């Protein structure tokens, strides 16, 4: 089936899409009266005035000159500060506020019809820009009264991209604005209004983000029917769309549509998509052997996998519980000198430790030891120290001094000893003139972790108490490094856990919590309270534990029901045993350490990466100083690495 766009262009689209298109035609009913009245009014004017009016409609050169540069300031503000970008259009905002004001849709339409055509044409760009600088409500009202003609399609898309990028929260919080936005999306989604030339890919991002699955399929099918071949940049947007939906097969099918002779040109972008697809790949069992489902299809594309893809394969294999695949890839990367990043080392380290696979644990620890660059990642360093502590103190039951020396062997590779010397934990290292540059002091949370690990290595209460009193003294003396360290609960939890080992030192565990409250540097966390409670409960001090529970409630602490339900009833033994085992498990690394050290595993890496990739597109386009297109969007399409650091500030969904 076909439709004319009003510009002597015939669009072909699937028969199934006709019903979708006809439904969107109904959205124009409220504009019919306006269009009719406007047409009659224009005929009553002299021809010269009508010609001038048409020259200022969206898509005209004069309109573009008034629109392009200010719009660029909005979408590509300095330092990514959108508020500052809107402030630069304060004059436009005043014009828009004066005209739109607080009028309803009908009142605004009536006011627009009463405005002389010549004034309308000259003020349209200023009003639209001012509306964008003001907010979603006035912009959507203004768009709703404008004529729906093919030549304003790009300007309408410009406005909708900015609304979706900056005012998404405002729109989602207002049902009326949601309806207005949906109507505008329906208007720009009609096939016959699309441009005759290639569709700008950031507009396709908008259409696929804001339409339902059926209409998205229609849009994609239409593009394939009308563009031969479909530009790779549009295909990559489609790939992002299906990756976000978790449909790896469809995404790979689309990737294969990129002509082989164009794949090298877009190699970086294609590999980025391959990497994202790896993060949603699944395992299929074949003859009791698990293997990736989508990965072989990606390899068949003929694009050599880069280091990022290999590292993601390791992460995905570990998360899917097929560590043998991860180790096979790791050893291949080592043998072929492909860079294994810090995350892959961490995943293999954690998996080997949790499985208590000593052979592989030794292998990955040795690999990390040979890489000086890996010691700049605090969470990786602390996790190695944690493993060493567990192996030395719990598994091998080595003396405290030997366990601490093994901890220091890792610590000294990454950080300066000075804070530990100041605490009296260790002696300073001999001065070595040939040593490399001076190491930095550890971040406060790493220092807190080191104190935690040191305390749990000890067996002598007098030594631990002496350290605790010295720390309190340093806090009172306002020592900068200890003050910062004392803002993290991990340090206190180490002392509480140590004192809770013995019935005779339970009172000192309470003293630690009281010191936290007194100095007000760190609010006792749920983990802190659970350490104290379980210390009393494991020694049968249920009455004292309940008093502590009441004190927690009095301090407005609201523990989770799952963690503390046993204290509200009859101390159910199974629940109590479960919590005690959890809290007393000295094999566990402290909760929240990865968050504190800015090392968070990607819970929803696919959707975040796809969102970030779409965000990169629009702003990169607008940031390229090239020839201005007639539609007000700048050339120079380009995506940035969604998994890496942005080179531009203020990333958004259409960059």
Residues 6+ apart with CB under 8 A from 546: 567
DSSP lists the bridge partners of residue 467 as: none
For 553-572, the pLDDT digits (tens) are: 777 766 665 545 444 443 45
Q: State the angle between helix axes of 90-100 and 136-145 in degrees (0 to 180), rounded to the nearest 10.
A: 60
Contact predicate 567/546, CB 8 Å: yes
CA distance linking residue 534 with residue 211, whole number of Å? 53
The pLDDT, as a whole number, for residue 37 is: 37
Three-state DSSP class for residue 344:
helix
What is the phi/psi pair of residue 283, to 5°?
-105, 135
Residues 6+ apart with CB under 8 A from 436: none
pLDDT exceeds cutoff 50 at 588: yes
The pLDDT, as a whole number, for residue 433 is: 59
The pLDDT, as a whole number, for residue 560 is: 61
Confidence of residue 547 (pLDDT cuts 50, 70, 90): confident
Question: Nearest Cα to 641, choosing from 211, 271, 134?
Answer: 271
Confidence of residue 641 (pLDDT cuts 50, 70, 90): very low
Contact predicate 147/37, CB 8 Å: no
DSSP assigned state of 375: G
Contact predicate 221/11, CB 8 Å: no
pLDDT exceeds cutoff 90 at 276: yes
For 597-624, the pLDDT digits (tens) are: 777 554 444 444 444 444 444 443 334 3
pLDDT exceeds cutoff 80 at 253: yes
For 409-419, what is the mean pLDDT?
Answer: 95
For 125-159, the pLDDT digits (tens) are: 899 999 999 999 999 999 999 887 766 888 999 99
Question: Nearest Cα to 124, choosing from 36, 68, 37, 57?
Answer: 57
For 248-271, what is the mean pLDDT?
Answer: 92
Cis peptide before 556 (omega within 30 of 0): no
Residues 6+ apart with CB under 8 A from 160: 143, 181, 184, 185, 188, 206, 210
DSSP assigned state of 372: G
CA distance linking residue 305 with residue 334, whole number of Å? 15
Question: Which stretch of 1-5, 142-146, 170-174, 539-543 has the lowest confidence by average pLDDT?
Answer: 1-5
For 613-639, what is the mean pLDDT?
Answer: 32
CA distance linking residue 572 with residue 580, whole number of Å? 12
Long-range CB pairs of 148-151, under 8 A, 24+ apart, other chains included:
148/28, 148/31, 148/35, 148/187, 148/193, 149/6, 149/57, 150/5, 150/6, 150/7, 150/192, 150/193, 151/7, 151/57, 151/58, 151/59, 151/60
Contact predicate 164/209, CB 8 Å: yes
Return the H-helix or E-strand segment holding 10. strand 10-12
Tell me which residue has tokens 């995943």. 347
Of 120 and 487, the structure prediction assigns the larger pLDDT to 487
The pLDDT, as a whole number, for residue 60 is: 59
CA distance linking residue 642 with residue 276, whole number of Å? 9
The pLDDT, as a whole number, for residue 197 is: 77
The pLDDT, as a whole number, for residue 619 is: 44
CA distance linking residue 358 with residue 467, whole number of Å? 33
The pLDDT, as a whole number, for residue 573 is: 56
pLDDT exceeds cutoff 70 at 519: yes
What is the phi/psi pair of residue 146, to 5°?
-80, 150
CA distance linking residue 513 with residue 35, whole number of Å? 73
Question: Which stretch of 45-49, 56-60, 321-325, 404-408 has the lowest confidence by average pLDDT?
Answer: 45-49
The pLDDT, as a whole number, for residue 122 is: 85
Question: Which stretch of 266-270, 276-280, 380-384, 603-607 has the lowest confidence by average pLDDT?
Answer: 603-607
Confidence of residue 530 (pLDDT cuts 50, 70, 90): confident
Tell me which residue has tokens 């940049």. 233
The pLDDT, as a whole number, for residue 584 is: 57
Of 567 and 460, the structure prediction assigns the larger pLDDT to 460
What DSSP string describes 551-584?
Answer: HHHHTT----HHHHHHHHTT--HHHHHHHHHHHH
The pLDDT, as a whole number, for residue 35 is: 38
pTM, two decimal places: 0.73
Of 410 and 66, the structure prediction assigns the larger pLDDT to 410
CA distance linking residue 117 with residue 124, whole number of Å? 10
Contact predicate 522/571, CB 8 Å: no
CA distance linking residue 499 with residue 489, whole number of Å? 16
Distances (CA, A) of 269 to 227, 273, 303: 21, 6, 11
The pLDDT, as a whole number, for residue 72 is: 87
Tell me which residue has tokens 């959108």. 82
The pLDDT, as a whole number, for residue 564 is: 52
For 391-405, the pLDDT digits (tens) are: 999 999 999 999 999
The pLDDT, as a whole number, for residue 500 is: 93
Long-range CB pairs of 586-593, under 8 A, 24+ apart, other chains included:
586/390, 586/393, 586/394, 586/456, 586/497, 587/390, 587/394, 589/382, 589/383, 589/386, 590/449, 590/452, 590/490, 590/493, 590/527, 591/527, 592/490, 592/527, 593/379, 593/382, 593/445, 593/449, 593/490
The pLDDT, as a whole number, for residue 587 is: 75
The pLDDT, as a whole number, for residue 355 is: 94
pLDDT exceeds cutoff 70 at 526: yes
Of 559 and 201, the structure prediction assigns the larger pLDDT to 201
Question: Which stretch of 43-52, 146-155, 323-332 has the lowest confidence by average pLDDT?
Answer: 43-52
Contact predicate 364/349, CB 8 Å: yes
In this structure, what token pair is assigned to residue 649?
A: 């500030």
Give 594-630 as a 3 state SS string.
HHHCCCCCCCCHHHHHHHHHHHHHHHHHHHCCCCECC
Distances (CA, A) of 587 to 383, 406, 452, 577: 11, 17, 13, 17
Confidence of residue 637 (pLDDT cuts 50, 70, 90): very low
CA distance linking residue 452 with residue 471, whole number of Å? 13
The pLDDT, as a whole number, for residue 54 is: 44
CA distance linking residue 70 with residue 353, whole number of Å? 57
Q: How many other β-carbons are positioned within 10 Å of the β-carbon of residue 286?
A: 9
CA distance linking residue 305 with residue 329, whole number of Å? 12
Confidence of residue 446 (pLDDT cuts 50, 70, 90): very high
For 267-294, what is the mean pLDDT?
Answer: 85
Contact predicate 226/11, CB 8 Å: yes
Contact predicate 532/499, CB 8 Å: no
Express as a percent the part of the chain with pLDDT over 90: 52
For 478-498, the pLDDT digits (tens) are: 999 999 999 999 999 999 999
Question: Which stretch of 60-64, 485-489, 538-542 has the lowest confidence by average pLDDT?
Answer: 60-64
For 38-47, what is the mean pLDDT?
Answer: 39
Question: Which stretch of 131-140, 161-170, 457-466, 540-549 has the lowest confidence by average pLDDT?
Answer: 540-549
Average pLDDT, the chain: 79
For 40-66, what is the mean pLDDT?
Answer: 51
Three-state DSSP class for residue 289:
strand
pLDDT exceeds cutoff 90 at 68: no
What DSSP string describes 140-176?
Answer: HHHHHHS---GGGHHHHHHHHHHHHHHSHHHHHT-HH
pLDDT exceeds cutoff 60 at 474: yes
pLDDT exceeds cutoff 60 at 505: yes
pLDDT exceeds cutoff 80 at 31: no
The pLDDT, as a whole number, for residue 575 is: 54
The pLDDT, as a whole number, for residue 633 is: 26
For 248-255, what is the mean pLDDT?
Answer: 94
Of 12 and 423, the structure prediction assigns the larger pLDDT to 423
Confidence of residue 299 (pLDDT cuts 50, 70, 90): confident
DSSP assigned state of 56: T
């Amino acid at each position: 089936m076909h439709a004319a766009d009003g510009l002597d262009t015939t669009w072909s689209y699937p028969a199934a899409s006709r019903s979708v298109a006809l439904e969107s035609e109904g959205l124009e009913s409220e504009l019919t009266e306006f269009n009719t009245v406007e047409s009659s009014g224009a005929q009553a004017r002299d021809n010269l005035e009508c010609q001038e009016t048409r020259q200022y409609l969206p898509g005209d050169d004069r309109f573009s000159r008034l629109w392009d540069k200010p719009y660029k300031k909005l979408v590509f503000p300095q330092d990514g500060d959108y508020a500052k970008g809107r402030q630069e259009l304060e004059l436009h905002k005043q014009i828009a506020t004066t005209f739109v004001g607080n009028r309803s849709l009908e009142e605004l339409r009536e006011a627009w019809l009463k405005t002389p055509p010549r004034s309308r044409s000259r003020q349209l760009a200023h009003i639209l820009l001012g509306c964008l600088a003001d907010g979603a409500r006035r912009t959507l009202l203004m768009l709703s009264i404008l004529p729906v003609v093919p030549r304003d399609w790009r300007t309408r898309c410009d406005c909708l991209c900015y609304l979706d990028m900056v005012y998404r929260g405002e729109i989602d919080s207002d049902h009326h604005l949601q309806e207005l936005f949906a109507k505008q999306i329906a208007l720009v989604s009609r096939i016959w209004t699309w441009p005759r030339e290639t569709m700008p890919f950031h507009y396709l991002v908008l259409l696929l983000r804001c339409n339902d699955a059926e209409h998205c399929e229609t849009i994609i099918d239409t593009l394939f029917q009308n563009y031969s071949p479909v530009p790779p940049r549009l295909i990559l947007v489609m790939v992002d769309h299906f990756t976000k939906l978790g449909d790896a097969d469809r995404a790979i099918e689309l990737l294969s549509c990129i002509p082989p002779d164009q794949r090298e040109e877009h190699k970086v972008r294609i590999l980025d998509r391959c990497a994202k697809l790896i993060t949603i790949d699944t395992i299929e069992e074949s003859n009791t052997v698990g293997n990736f489902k989508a990965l072989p299809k990606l390899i068949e594309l003929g694009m050599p996998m880069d280091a990022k893809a290999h590292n993601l394969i390791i992460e995905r294999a570990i998360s899917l519980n097929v560590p043998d695949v991860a180790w096979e890839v790791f050893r291949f990367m080592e043998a072929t000198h492909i860079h294994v990043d810090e995350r892959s080392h961490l995943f293999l380290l954690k998996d080997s430790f949790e499985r208590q696979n000593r052979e592989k644990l030794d292998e990955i620890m040795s690999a990390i030891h040979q890489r000086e660059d890996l010691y700049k990642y605090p969470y990786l360093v602390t996790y190695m120290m944690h493993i060493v502590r567990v192996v030395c103190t719990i598994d091998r039951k080595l003396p405290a001094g030997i366990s601490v020396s093994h901890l220091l062997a890792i610590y000294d590779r990454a950080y300066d000893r000075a804070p530990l010397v100041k605490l009296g934990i260790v002696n300073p290292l001999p001065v070595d003139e040939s040593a490399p540059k001076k190491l930095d002091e550890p971040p406060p949370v790493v220092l807190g972790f080191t104190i935690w690990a040191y305390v749990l290595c000890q067996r002598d209460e007098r030594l631990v108490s002496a350290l605790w009193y010295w720390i309190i003294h340093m806090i009172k003396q306002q020592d900068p490094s200890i003050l910062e360290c004392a803002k993290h609960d991990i340090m206190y939890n180490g002392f509480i856990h140590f004192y809770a080992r013995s019935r005779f030192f339970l009172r000192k565990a309470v003293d630690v919590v009281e010191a936290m409250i007194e100095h007000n540097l760190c609010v006792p966390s749920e983990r802190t309270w659970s350490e104290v409670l379980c210390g009393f409960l494991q020694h049968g001090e249920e009455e004292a534990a309940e008093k502590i529970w009441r004190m927690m409630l009095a301090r407005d602490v609201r523990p989770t029901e799952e963690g503390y339900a046993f204290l509200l009833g009859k101390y159910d033994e199974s629940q109590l045993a479960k919590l005690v085992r959890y809290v007393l498990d000295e094999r566990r690394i402290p909760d929240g350490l990865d968050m504190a050290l800015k090392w968070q595993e990607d819970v929803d890496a696919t959707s975040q990466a796809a969102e970030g990739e779409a965000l990169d597109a629009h702003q990169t386009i607008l940031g390229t100083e090239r020839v201005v297109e007639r539609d007000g969007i700048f050339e120079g399409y380009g995506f940035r690495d969604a998994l890496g650091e942005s080179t531009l500030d203020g990333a958004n969904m259409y960059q």
